[in-house]
Structure 1
């Protein structure tokens, strides 16, 4: 079983590092559906896997200048406030409606990303007027694209839209108990026009910050079992290390092709939960 947990960790870490997603969307279904593990322990292991993915990937992305630390810390404010608000609103709003709403949002986003794959050969950088707020907060950045072998500078836009999206993602996370990695990438890539590679790298750091805040609770309520979480965490660190070496060399179009099926899966899953066809 330890070897199986280890293998699951490698896959989760690899995809998590590539796409900026928490390993929970891979770890939790495998542990519960394929291995018959109690959902409580699966979620505990998932939290540890997210922290491991973030730790393993963020260091490498920081060295490669892919990670925008200022954007991560700024948007994390919205996510944290949203998560607290979501936790406080538990029981007030009907979760079914929210599941349908966020599921539909993910499906619409996957449609937009599919359009980018079909009609756009590479990332279109924002070339409009520079936002004074973005410039004041020094959120613009640049990175060296190993695939294109050139330095790419980018400017961000629609800071309010991105902040609002992150606040909504935080509410969903706190109210519905879901990971918000997909929303983080969408907020930066689709709304704020940050290229997909730095979006994924920045999302990895933010996921770890969010997971670390809840890990203590899961630890003290007994959800984190060392014999399960340990092998998964080791596998995740190895997978994340592999993912960080692969991601900078991939085309943005290839990353989107990997991301679209994940968005479709999450969107369909949330809609089905909302209409009561899935627990």
Structure 2
């Protein structure tokens, strides 16, 4: 072991906060921290990250569902595609070398950062036209925003586009162990036109199911090391609980401002690692 359990635990708490805050799962911090800073092999880091994603979802989902920010109908509807994708991605991962995993991970994050940059000033979606299927499935909803101090009602667009993107999100989850929250949030934010907080909360609910679908494959492959996954799970769970309290008191625009630099920095670091620069 290159890293100590305490070091892994500390980074995992930070990962849990950001994971719950941004709806990305703990993997966005856990994988770069374990591989780039603590010297853990990326395959074991991905295995631990799968566990961290489940822990993030468990810690965040309770609070978001209780406060009605999570849209359960959208989450369960889109989870059909992500679960199938996660199983596909987990099997593909065993056929790809580590350097390609670094590069794929970096490109995914960089794309996400650029997409968020375009919407950094948008607090709530405007002029949204409801998709017929969204009305039929009763996917639209509302929640009380503590920052705006009002009930926010929202419509749902782009159902088909979001569903297709979710299959890709599931494949990325199985490949990279990140819960693919980046694409989940983006699909709901860009295609379905949901408020950022609803996208984040619903993503947190979904990522645990997606990760659990591929966790068995990693366990059978022997890449989930208890010495790494144990402190990761505990740290991420504590961090996620704290992250939910913080998120509810932030504006949507503030969440994006935190989101963008984190993604850009990590994407660059992972690309450098993958390219061997």
Does TM-score exceed 0.5, indicating one fold? Answer: yes
CA distance in 1, matches of 2:91, 2:223: 22
**Distance in 1 of aligned mates of 2:90 and 2:30:** 24
Measured after TM superposition, the shift of residue 177 of structure 1 is 3.6
- What per-residue deviation string (whole Å, max 9, x for no partner) do you get for residues 221-271 of structure 1? 332233322222111111111111110110111100111124434654676
Runs (5+) with no aligned partner, structure 1? none
Change (3 A) 1:64 1:133: same
Distance in structure 2 (CA, Å) of the matches to 1:91 and 1:5: 25
Corresponding position of 1:30 = 33
Which residue matches 1:230? 230
- What residue number does 2:275 align with? 277
**Per-residue CA distance 1:185-220 (angstroms, 9 max, x = gap):** 000011110110010111111111111122223233
TM-score (norm: length of structure 2): 0.85
Change (3 A) 1:99 1:169: farther
Query: What is the aligned partner in structure 2 of residue 75 from structure 1?
Result: 78
Q: 1:184 to 1:266 in 2, by over 3 A?
A: farther
Q: Which residue is 2:160 aligned to?
A: 160
Query: Where does 1:122-161 land on structure 2 (aligned, <5 Å)?
Result: 122-128=123-129, 130-161=130-161
- Structure 1 residues 152, 232: closer, same or farther in 2, change over 3 A? same
Counting only pairs closer than 5 Å after superposition, residues 40-119 of structure 1 correspond to structure 2 as 40-86=43-89, 107=110, 109-117=112-120
Report which stretch shifted further, 9-18 or 222-231. 222-231
- Taking the aligned partners of 1:75 and 1:4, their CA distance within structure 2 comes to 36
Q: TM-score, normalised by structure 1?
A: 0.85
Deviates more, 1:258-267 or 1:131-140: 258-267
Contact 2:128 2:157 (8 Å CA) reproduced:
no
Instruction: Please point out which of 5, 8, 33 is paired with 1:5.
Output: 8
What is the aligned-residue RMSD (CA, Å)? 3.0
Give the aligned length: 273
- Contact preservation (8 Å) 1:125, 1:155: no
Structure 1 residue 79: Cα displacement: 1.5
Shift in CA distance, 243/97, structure 1 to aligned 2, threshold 3 Å: closer
